[in-house]
Amino acid sequence: MEKTYKDLKDADPQLMKTVIGKILAKHLLEGTLQPGNEIGIRIDQTLTQDATGTVAYLEAEVLGMNRVKTELSVSYVDHNTLKMDHKNADDHSYLQSVAAKYGLVLSKAGNGICHQVHLERYARPGKTLLGSDSHTPTAGGMGSMGIGAGGLDVALAMGGQPFFLRTPQVIGVKLTGSLKPMVAAKDVILEVLRRLGVKGGVGKALEYFGPGIKTLTVPERATITNMGAETGATTSVFPSDEVTLEFLRTVEREEEWQRLEADEDAEYEEVIEIDLSKLVPLIAKPHSPGDVVPISEVAGIEVDQVCIGSCTNSSFKDLVTAAYMLKGKRVKPGVSLTISPGSMSVYCELAEHGYLADLIAAGARILECTCGPCIGQGQAPRSGAVSVRTFNRNFKGRSGTNDAQIYLSSVEAAVSTALTGYITDPRSMGELREIPMPEKLRMQSALIVEPPTEEEAEKVELFRGPNIKPIELRGELPEKVEGSVLIKLDDNISTDIIMPAGIYLGLRSNVPEYAKHVFEPADPDFYKKAMEKNGGFVVAGENYGQGSSREHAALCPSYLGIRAVIAKSFARIHLANLINFGIIPLTFANSADYDKIEPDDELSLAAADLESSELLLKNVTRGIEIPVRHTLSANEIKRLKAGGSLAYISKHNAEKQG
């Protein structure tokens, strides 16, 4: 039953005055709405993409789902659309059969990037959206609360279960003034990252307010909320106002608009103030989205490749900006320039107005409407290359070339660089005249498949190719967990390091095969070591598991027998994924104790004592005890002891049926 405001007498009164607090309040099912408290919320919409969706639906099968219970669930195919052999083609057929059987909308390969398509077609102010992709907060540009999560959490939400999370602290980002020519919305979020870094948003949500927001269109707002994920924030949200209504009119969905703004006297846990008129073009240096400097500091570096697109910068406005800057000019001969339209609707509009011809004539290569190079699917730079991209991540090796130097910039800076052949401050190229926006951005539906009726769905048989393997459940957690330290890692280890994507994405529905590549970028022998020692422990520094939401980064290590990860701190989504797959997440009580454990040390932990938040980890090799702690709720402890959330719920469902 939906809760109302009268049920929220114990909620934080200041939180309730914010946009984020209002959305949470109207979706609250369990818990008390106070920062740090665990709550369960109702999810209105879900999205998956093919790299995470295949496993999510295999998990849904284990859970016994027969029909989605959300208002809307969409299965997008946008990450790995190349069909070099049967694997991806089989996965896509599986996803299409799943969508038909369970009642999901299917966005086929080539229709566009999930976040851009969802913003255009489905995102609605005031709604909750849970996606098995970390950039789901893109919908916050519409006044929707988008949250990234692991596939299992999305599968549970599709089945009508609450989504559990810690109530975030709401950080207000006050925008004043307006952007100067050749300074873009991308520079706004790069400035936020410059201030917060890649872990400054963990446990927090970002809410934008102030007079400056009226100067930003919904696609620009979405660029900002998209890349807020790189701070570690749970979500990022703009209010729904007249600017939102104007965008909804453009995509012919104005009837879905509702005003949703913070109260005038709303107060935030912290306020970050940004005067848009004082911003300069910024750029993120290799190999972190948080290593942000004014572009003038690195101007002049020779560049081999420029890539424009991704869920951050592939809107109609972004690509028309590129077309205007390139018209009648030529990309520097030594530079490869690629363009990835964010949706088929954007692609068609570019073609109809002649912008596509301008891009092609300048020497740009037009790629399919997919994530493409951002996820390491094609366009890997040459050895030692410098690549400037309008993407959201530049982790080492993510591009497909381990020694490439990847920079992140705005479209304006990327085009300027492509024309000169070296990193260029776009302001040196003159001013760009106002970008004309179409009265209507017509939605192209040729690659959208609506679900059949429930009666027809019952006849659908799920397609399974030979590479699609069922999910194996982990056994119950033993009272004592023992084993060797299989690897010791530094700070900010991303899920790309834990579970590399790129050329291995074809194995996403085959855990036994995919698991052979766990930690391969950090230790090519990790799989062999884990198999020989029958699993063990992982030790890491700060912000372990940052980046992509891919639950394979927990699922595959769990398959190899990883029992626990001891880190200085965890990224939010990966922490939840570890619990879902039965891996104990522990933090050092004292960060300096990180130095008291080395690879191959034998460790022992009394897992039976997890009810206490503080435990002693025994380093048997060195004869010492190290205090560790966790933030697990009682519900999470139950799930861990059962071998993870999937095992716990499966057992619970079996008992109910029996």
Domain range annotation of the chain: 5-278, 283-429, 480-657
C-alpha span between 544 and 137 (Å, rounded): 21
Tokens of 454: 């429930």
Q: Catalogue the E-assigned strands of 210-327.
A: 236-237, 270-275, 282-284, 292-294, 305-308
**Fold classified for 480-657:** Aconitase; domain 4 (3.20.19)
Residues in the chain: 658
State percent of the chain over pLDDT 70: 98
- Tell which residue, 622, 633, 630, has the closest CA to residue 600: 622
Q: How confident is the model at residue 655 (pLDDT cuts 50, 70, 90)?
A: low
Q: How confident is the model at residue 417 (pLDDT cuts 50, 70, 90)?
A: very high
C-alpha span between 629 and 613 (Å, rounded): 5
Residue 589 DSSP code: S
Strands 38-41 and 163-166, bridge-based pairing: antiparallel
pLDDT number for residue 25: 96
User: Rounded mean pLDDT of the chain?
Assistant: 95
- Tell which residue, 222, 234, 221, 229, has the closest CA to residue 170: 234
Q: In degrees rounded to 5, what are phi and psi of residue 226?
A: -60, -50
The DSSP line for 71-91 is SEEEEE--S----SSHHHHHH
Distance between first and last Cα of the chain: 27
Query: Is 392 a residue whose pLDDT tops 90?
Result: yes
Tokens of 232: 């570690």
Q: How confident is the model at residue 437 (pLDDT cuts 50, 70, 90)?
A: confident
Query: Is 263 a residue whose pLDDT tops 80?
Result: yes
C-alpha span between 617 and 163 (Å, rounded): 31
Q: How confident is the model at residue 658 (pLDDT cuts 50, 70, 90)?
A: low
The yes-or-no answer to whether 5-278 and 480-657 have a common fold is: no
Hey, which residues does 538 pair with through a beta bridge?
A: 487, 565
C-alpha span between 248 and 341 (Å, rounded): 20
Average pLDDT of 193-197?
Answer: 97
State percent of the chain over pLDDT 90: 89
Q: In degrees rounded to 5, what are phi and psi of residue 20?
A: -60, -45
Tokens of 567: 């880190």
C-alpha span between 311 and 16 (Å, rounded): 30
Evaluate whether 222 touches 261 at the Cβ level (below 8 Å). Answer: no
Strands 448-449 and 105-107, bridge-based pairing: antiparallel
Q: Which CATH class is domain 283-429?
A: alpha beta
Evaluate whether 463 touches 94 at the Cβ level (below 8 Å). Answer: yes
Residues in CB range of 333: below 8 A, 6 or more apart: none
Sheet holding 282-284, edge to edge: 292-294, 282-284, 405-408, 386-389, 305-308, 336-339, 364-366
pLDDT number for residue 10: 87
User: pTM score, two decimals?
Assistant: 0.95
| CA count, 13 A, side-chain hemisphere, 559 | 21
Query: Is 222 a residue whose pLDDT tops 60?
Result: yes
pLDDT digits (tens, 9 = 90+) for 4-38: 444 688 899 999 999 999 999 999 999 999 999 99
Name which residue leads in pLDDT, 51 or 275: 275
- According to the CATH classification, is domain 5-278 in 3.20.20.70? no
pLDDT number for residue 477: 92
pLDDT number for residue 364: 98
Evaluate whether 334 touches 422 at the Cβ level (below 8 Å). Answer: no
pLDDT digits (tens, 9 = 90+) for 349-361: 999 999 999 999 9
